[in-house]
Amino acid sequence: MQEERQPRDPTRKMLRVFGVKVTQYEERTAALLEQIAAAPADQPEDLLRLAAEIVDLTADMNQHLREMVGHVLNTQQRVLTDLRAAIERAQE
C-alpha cells in the first residue's frame, strides 16, 4: 500500500500548493481591484502601482499553472508509454 501512495505524493503536494496559490490570488486580486475601483482618478500613480501588482500576481499564477499542466502532461505521457509497451508485449 505504501508503494502505491509514494508516486502520488508529489502530485498531492503540488495540488495543495496550487490550490493555496489560486485562493491567495483570488483574495489578493479582489482586494486590489476594490482599491482600484475606489482610487481617485487624479492619482494615476496609485492605479499604476495597483495594476502592476496585479500583473505580477498574474504572472506568478501563470507560472504555477504551467507547472501543474506540465506535471499532468508528463504523467499522461508516462501512462501512455507504459500502456504502449504493455500492448506491444501482449502482441509478441
Domain edges within the chain: 2-91
Please, are residues 61 and 22 in contact by the beta-carbon 8 Å criterion? yes
Predicted confidence at residue 3, as pLDDT, reads 53
Mean pLDDT of 46-73: 97
> What is the Cα–Cα distance from 24 to 58, expressed in whole angstroms?
11
State what percent of residues in the chain have pLDDT above 90. 86
Mean pLDDT of 10-21: 95
Q: Residue for cell digits 507560472?
A: 63
The secondary structure of 35-84 as a DSSP string is HHHHS-TT-HHHHHHHHHHHHHHHHHHHHHHHHHHHHHHHHHHHHHHHHH
Predicted confidence at residue 54, as pLDDT, reads 99
Cβ within 8 Å of residue 71, ≥6 positions away: 11, 14
Predicted confidence at residue 89, as pLDDT, reads 96
Predicted confidence at residue 65, as pLDDT, reads 98
